[in-house]
Structure 1
Amino acid sequence: MNIDPRVLKTLLQLQMSSNLGSADSNASGGTDNASMFNAVLQQLMSDPDSNGAALSALSNAGALNNDSTSAMFLQPLVAASYGSSAAQQGISQASGTELSSAPVSGGSNSSYDELINQAGSKYGVSPSLIKAVIDTESSFNANAESGAGAKGLMQLMDGTARGLGVTDSFDPQQNIEGGTKFLAYLLDKYGGNEKAALAAYNAGPGRVDRAGIKTNEDFTALMGNLPKETQKYVGKVLGAMGEYTA
């Protein structure tokens, strides 16, 4: 079994955290970490060489809502996401915590430039924003699939994809078209305020609306009402935009 030592270390940390959490009747972290431990272990047992997929499972299993836990587990493991297509998997929109590998084709030389420019022109969305979302969601891996079921370049959930007319989320053209259409809808809904729209892309419009966020200023003032993963996600996408702005 060819398990990356860093993955093995994290499994041990998860097991320890689970045991400690179970000793505290008020702690939910033990249960969450036990579930994550089992999910990662099952992934490795089914495919012993799937270290990258295991890292994705660590992010998607749901126990990384705690910042200190996230930092302890993920920081030493980011560099382990490499190699096979499984290792290049994107992270779920529901998570917002990314383990991005190097883009398959990054920057202005992206092999998806034509599709991105076409979709951006059609829906009035900046190509740099589309690229930043793709980079953050999947690291330009068209075959990415998260543990939560988000698929493709822009990590569309099946229900969202169906509503956008996407029949194959792993088809780059359909995925970019659908994801850009959804971005355009959110940008329109929130009056062009990118922070609010990106928060909704990650956490869902309903959650953003319940948080009272309608503008960029609202996001800055009220982002504490959103999951920390979403707060980080918005910053990550906006930071990536600078890399793709001509």
Structure 2
Amino acid sequence: MSMKIDPRTVQQMLQLQLYEQTNIFSSVSPYAVGRPASTFAGLLEEIVGLETVTEPDPAPKSSGSGLVGQAVPHPSLSKPTTYDPLIHEAALKYGVDAALIKAVIHAESSFNPTAQSHAGAKGLMQLMDGTAKALGVADSMDPEQNINGGTRYLAALLAKYNGQEAVALAAYNAGPGRVDRLGIATERDLRAHFDRLPAETRNYITKVLDLKETYKV
């Protein structure tokens, strides 16, 4: 009897293998082309204080953990999007889970490449102009540049916070400077200081983590 293997499973296995073999601080640089790997901290130093502000969405119900709630329903979650090839390319390039990138795009812009917030965040992953410039993104409305730059930034935050997704998401939404000033460096810190984060950021973390789990299905 033959057994079919879901292509997504194969892709995730390859992505995990690449991630394990890749040193994010050297061969896969999370900052602009030409920036030496030894200045990894320089990227975040340039961005500290530049808040990536998004428009607030209705808060999903919390499970009580303060981080992960019930899955956010969406009619198209099971369907591929126009940007899946770009998402998977960026995922492999920077060692970031494709489901996480997709969840961030969903929460940030609902897959609208021309989305712009009142604060000036632009494109699919809602990059502020200062953040985009630091990441080497010339046109935030260009889907390929935006996804590449946003994923590069997300990879840098994941590296900064030792792969702790919830903390990296807090920094992506509220800015790494604000997260650091609150003394949040681990998920334990995040739970302890969760109520000190803006309501938008608390809702954002919950929503993105929920969406990530849904997109992994």
Would the TM-score normalized by the shorter structure come out above 0.5?
yes
Distance 2:172 2:79 in 1: 23
Is it true that 1:162 corresponds to 2:121 in the alignment?
no
CA radius of gyration, larger in: 1
Match of 2:114 among 143, 151, 155: 143
Instruction: Please show how residues 174-185 of structure 1 align to structure 2 within 5 Å.
Output: 174-185=145-156
1:94 aligned residue: 53
- 1:185 and 1:217, CA in 2 relative to 1: closer, same or farther beyond 3 A? same
Distance apart, 1:223 and its partner CA? 1.3
Q: What are the Cα deviations for residues 130-165 of structure 1, in whole angstroms up to 9, with x where unaligned? A: 000000000001111111110000000011001101
TM-score (norm: length of structure 1)? 0.59
Is it true that 1:241 corresponds to 2:212 in the alignment?
yes
Distance 1:244 1:111 in 2: 15
Distance 2:74 2:128 in 1: 21
Percent of pairs with identical residues: 56
Is it true that 1:202 corresponds to 2:173 in the alignment?
yes
**What secondary structure, in the 3-state scheme, does the structure 2 residue paired with 1:165 have?**
coil
Q: CA RMSD in A?
A: 2.2
Distance apart, 1:242 and its partner CA? 1.5
**What secondary structure, in the 3-state scheme, does the structure 1 residue paired with 2:87 have?**
helix
Match of 2:89 among 111, 114, 118: 118
CA contact (8 A) 1:152 1:172 kept: yes
Distance 1:163 1:217 in 2: 30
Amino acid at match of 1:187: L
**What secondary structure, in the 3-state scheme, does the structure 2 residue paired with 1:191 have?**
coil
1:133 aligned residue: 104
Q: What are the Cα deviations for residues 167-222 of structure 1, in whole angstroms up to 9, with x where unaligned? A: 01111000000000000000000000111100000000010001111111211111
**What secondary structure, in the 3-state scheme, does the structure 1 residue paired with 2:193 have?**
helix
2:182 aligned residue: 211
CA contact (8 A) 1:106 1:140 kept: no
Give structure 1 regions of 4+ aligned residues with deviation exceeding 6 angstroms.
102-105
Greater RCO (Cα-Cα under 8 Å, separation 6 or more): 2
- 1:104 and 1:142, CA in 2 relative to 1: closer, same or farther beyond 3 A? farther
Amino acid at match of 1:135: H
Q: Which consecutive residues of structure 1, in runs of 5 or more, have no partner in the other structure?
A: 1-91
CA contact (8 A) 1:105 1:140 kept: no
TM-score (norm: length of structure 2)? 0.66
Distance 2:192 2:136 in 1: 35
Distance apart, 1:96 and its partner CA? 5.4
Number of residue pairs matched?
A: 154
- 1:198 and 1:149, CA in 2 relative to 1: closer, same or farther beyond 3 A? same
